[in-house]
Each structure stands twice: as structure tokens, then as C-alpha cells.
Amino acid sequence: MFRNGMKGHPALLCTGFIVFIFTTFTVYLARREISQLSHKVAYLNYSITHFDGLMKWKNHINREYVSSFFNAKVPNEVRQWYAYAKSEVEMLNKLPQDSPELIEHIRRNLLVAPRPGKIEHVPKDTSEGQASKILRHFGKKSHGVFIECGASDGLFLSNTFWLESAFNWTGLLIEPEPSSFKKLLGAGRNAWLMPTCLSLSKHPSLKRVRLEEEELASNTSAVHCMPLFSILLAVNQTIDYFSLDTGGNELDILKTVPFHHIDVKVWSINISKNRKDRADLINLMDINGYGLLKFSTDDGDWVKSDLIFSKDAGK
């Protein structure tokens, strides 16, 4: 009967069909809008979360790393060695200089393997006379071991370059200033490298170092300084010659060293021409078994502003 009734009303059937189509299309559009809106809401939530994550990461970096990480003046080639996690710095600064953990940190993170290149044979002393006196003391010894602190670019006026080039010495070159360390990396020296400064205490310490290529004194980079004794323990080798030139803090650095626990044969130490400073240095080295070398040369006992001390001369 229902079927017969419909056959009797074709206009009603057509209207019903149109209503059905309209309703279906309206529902489709509504669902599509809801779907698009859901995607937009989801994307907005993701963006907010992502932005919040970025802000948290940025705040973490600002909180966790010292300013040298962001210092655009530090060359990109060496920036990896001048990014210090604050938490790690604070932890290391509490360690004594003979701490196994500190020694391992130096070996793992600060010692840079040699990058030997093609260096021409150097026929004469490139230093201001220090290398010649060292070589004379050792009787033109070959294959000696050195440490040079204040190595700069590793070439100009280097106290060890001639020893390495002409007599096959090797060792460790220490340079804290980032631009100079970049040059040192490319110098082709057959020696280990270390981008650090020497601490004035028996613990590591953070220090501001002026960037060499910047005119403003305010342009500095943070450098994590290591105790000299810690570095010697990390190297763990007899040192024939140690060249120490830190620009004025040599005596304070040496006062942190337990000399009876190290094996360094000869030192050249850059010291001011102030008589008291020199007398204090000579006294410190004498107490620890090092005597001032006496060379029978025209320039007397002084090598520019360096004093040279030997264990043999102290006996």
C-alpha cells in the first residue's frame, strides 16, 4: 500500500529525493569543515608545543652553556673546544688537580691529536735564543719531548719549532686564545695540541681571554683553565723541556705544582724584569731542585725575559 501511495505522488517523490541529496551534501560539507578544523587545531597545538619546546631548549642552552658558545667572534673551526656546559664546569672546578676524573676529562676532551703537515726543514733557531740554549744543554739531542705553553700559532718565535723541525722533537703545544689555536691547528706541527689556559689554583677555573684579532678589550671568550699538574698527569711522560710563557702569571702557576711528583728536566720560564719577581722565581725553583743554568756565552744568564732552569744544575 505504501508503494502504491508513492506511485500516486511523483512530485512528492522528487521533492524527497532533492531533500535527501541536499541533506547528504550538507552533512558532507559539515564533516569536511570539521575535519579541516580538527587538522588546524591539531597543527596549532603542535606549533604551540613545538614552539614551547624550542623555547625550553633555548632557555636550557642559555642556562647550561657559558657565553663563549654563542660568541660569534670565536672561529667556527674551533668553537667545539670553547663550548663548556655550566654544570660540567661547576663539577670540574670542585675537583682536586690529581683527580682521576679530571685527568680523564683532559685526555678525552682537551688533547687534540697531531695534525702533521709538510713543514720545510728549519736550518736555524726560530725562537729568541731559548731553543739554542736548550739544545746546547742536551748536547744536540734528537727525539726529545717538549711542552710549550703559550704556543701562539706554533711557528712565529716558537721555542720548540726548530727542535721539532731539525731534531725530531715532539710533544704538546698549549694555546688558550681561540684565533691563535685555529692557526695552530693548521700549522702542521707534529705535536699534540691543547686549547686551554693554566689555572692559578689547584682546581680548574674559568677565565676570560681577550680575542687576538679584536681591537676592543671587551671582546673576550671564556676559556676553561686546567691546573698544570693535571696536564702533566694526563700526559704521563718525562718532559725534557717545558717552555712556560703565560703573559705574567708564571710564578703563581708554578706555586700550584707539587714538583716532587713531576718529571721535567729543563724549564724556560718567561718572567718580568722586576728583580723581586725573578728572585722569587729563582728561590722557588731552587727549593724544588732546579738550578739556574750558567751558559758561557756573551749574553750571560738571561735569555730575553726568560730564565732557564735545569734539574742537573740544581744538584
Per residue in 76-130, pLDDT tens? 889 889 888 888 999 999 999 999 999 999 999 999 999 887 777 777 888 888 9
**Is 22 within the bounds of a domain?**
no
pLDDT in tens, 231-271: 999 999 999 999 999 988 999 999 999 999 999 999 999 88
> 235-239: which pairs have CB atoms within 8 A and are 24 or more residues apart?
235/147, 235/172, 237/145, 238/145, 238/263, 238/264, 238/265, 239/145, 239/146, 239/147, 239/171, 239/263, 239/264, 239/265
**Is 149 within the bounds of a domain?**
yes
* CATH classification of the domain holding 247: 3.40.50.150
**Is 233 within the bounds of a domain?**
yes
The answer to whether residue 284 scores a pLDDT higher than 80 is: yes
Which residue in 175, 219, 180, 173 sits closest to 67, CA to CA? 219
- Cell 700526559 found at: 235
**Is 153 within the bounds of a domain?**
yes
Cell reading at 240: 725534557
Say whether 240 sits in a helix, a strand or coil.
strand
Q: How far apart are CA 302 and CA 279, in angstroms?
A: 13
The answer to whether residue 301 scores a pLDDT higher than 80 is: no
β-strand partners of 173: 148, 193
Q: Which residues contact 224 (CB under 8 A, 6 or more apart)?
A: 84, 89, 92, 196, 197, 204, 205, 206, 207
Instruction: Tell me, yes or no, if the pTM score tops 0.85.
Output: no
**Is 12 within the bounds of a domain?**
no
pLDDT at residue 242, rounded to an integer:
98
How many distinct structural domains can be found in the chain? Answer: 1
**Is 97 within the bounds of a domain?**
yes
**Is 6 within the bounds of a domain?**
no
Phi, psi dihedral angles at 65 (to 5 degrees): -115, 145
Q: Which residues contact 239 (CB under 8 A, 6 or more apart)?
A: 145, 146, 147, 171, 232, 262, 263, 264, 265
> Number of H helices and number of E strands within the chain?
10, 9
| Mean pLDDT within 49-62 | 51
Residue 1's pLDDT band, with cuts at 50, 70 and 90, is: very low
Which residue in 145, 219, 214, 207 sits closest to 176, CA to CA? 207
Which residue range forms the structural domain that includes residue 89?
Answer: 67-314
Cell reading at 221: 671568550
Phi, psi dihedral angles at 203 (to 5 degrees): -135, 160
The answer to whether residue 57 scores a pLDDT higher than 50 is: no
**Is 14 within the bounds of a domain?**
no
pLDDT at residue 19, rounded to an integer:
62
pLDDT at residue 102, rounded to an integer:
97
Q: How far apart are CA 11 and CA 17, in angstroms?
A: 10
Q: Tell me the H-state helices in the chain.
A: 2-7, 10-64, 86-92, 100-105, 130-137, 161-167, 178-185, 228-235, 250-254, 275-287
